[in-house]
Amino acid sequence: MPKKLDLTDNLEKYIVDHSEYLTDVQKEIIKYNTSLGEQQRLQISISQAQFLQILIKISNIKKILEIGSFTGFSALSMSLALPNDGFLISLDKDLETSIVAKTFYEKAGERKIKQIIRPALESLKELRKSKHMFDLIFIDADKENYINYFNASKELINKRGLIVIDNVLWHGEVADMKNNDKFTNLIREFNKHVKNDKSTEQIILPLGDGLTICRKL
């Protein structure tokens, strides 16, 4: 068997420290989220943000849809990687966190982000009606609707576009068959749904809480 790395906290910190740098506003968002206690887990990891930035650049992504934005760390990170003629539409129903996110976008001077504050499924229907299409869709929202978000995303993604989904390893609990709590089972069901989808090809990466990368065929 090939030797496998044990990704300790120290090793992950080393990887982050030797990867894409963070801007001052990105660091400020992280500091703010840390002050929120348990809620900080809603933020994607730094390594995930760095990966998304590289992915956007090497894939020539110009049009991004984000489903679930929290306080804006993921949206800002992705937007910073976009070319000047790119844009990102961010969907979130939480007015309070959306206002916080907007404050950070303005502080960063980032004008490529458009926020839509309403339930995401409603927004996805409107985007389909207006025939919007995207190069990358990032899903990081309520787990109960992950399958609905994924199915809707397939209708909004360009051919060979990418759908990226966070939290697919759910703290490692998906592999513990003794754990049958609601959210672990929801993620297992979602992962099975994606694996069986014939219109995409996919891989799960052990970054942060697990990222699935899907490519539309």
Asked whether 61 and 136 are in contact (CB, 8 A), the reply is yes
Distance CA 6, CA 18 (A): 18
| Model pLDDT, residue 2 | 67
Distance CA 143, CA 131 (A): 26
- Tell me: pLDDT of 211 over 90: yes
User: Phi/psi at 200 (nearest 5 deg)?
Assistant: -135, 160
Distance CA 3, CA 29 (A): 36
Distance CA 159, CA 214 (A): 11
So where are the chain's domains? Answer: 9-216
**% pLDDT > 90, the chain:** 88
User: CATH topology for 9-216?
Assistant: Rossmann fold (3.40.50)
pLDDT tens digits, 32-62? 999 999 888 899 999 999 999 999 999 999 9
pLDDT tens digits, 63-109? 999 999 999 999 999 999 999 999 999 999 999 999 999 999 999 99
**% pLDDT > 70, the chain:** 99
Helix axes 24-34, 73-81, angle to 10 degrees: 170
Q: How large is the average pLDDT for residues 174-199?
A: 96
Q: H or E segment at 38?
A: none
| Model pLDDT, residue 40 | 87
Q: How large is the average pLDDT for residues 99-121?
A: 97
User: For the CA atoms of 50, 56, 58, 61, what is the dihedral angle to 10 degrees?
Assistant: -170
Comparing 26 with 16, the larger pLDDT belongs to 26
What sign results for the dihedral spanned by CA atoms 82, 84, 90, 96?
positive
| Model pLDDT, residue 21 | 87
Q: How large is the average pLDDT for residues 147-156?
A: 98
Q: What b/e readout covers 3-29, taking b as 16+ CB neighbours within 10 angstroms?
A: eeeeeeeeeeeeebeeebebeebbebb
The token duo for 53 is: 């930035």
pTM of this structure: 0.95
Comparing 17 with 194, the larger pLDDT belongs to 194
pLDDT tens digits, 165-184? 999 999 999 999 999 999 99
- Tell me: pLDDT of 1 over 60: no
Asked whether 36 and 108 are in contact (CB, 8 A), the reply is no
Query: In whole numbers, what is the pLDDT of the chain averaged over residues?
Result: 95
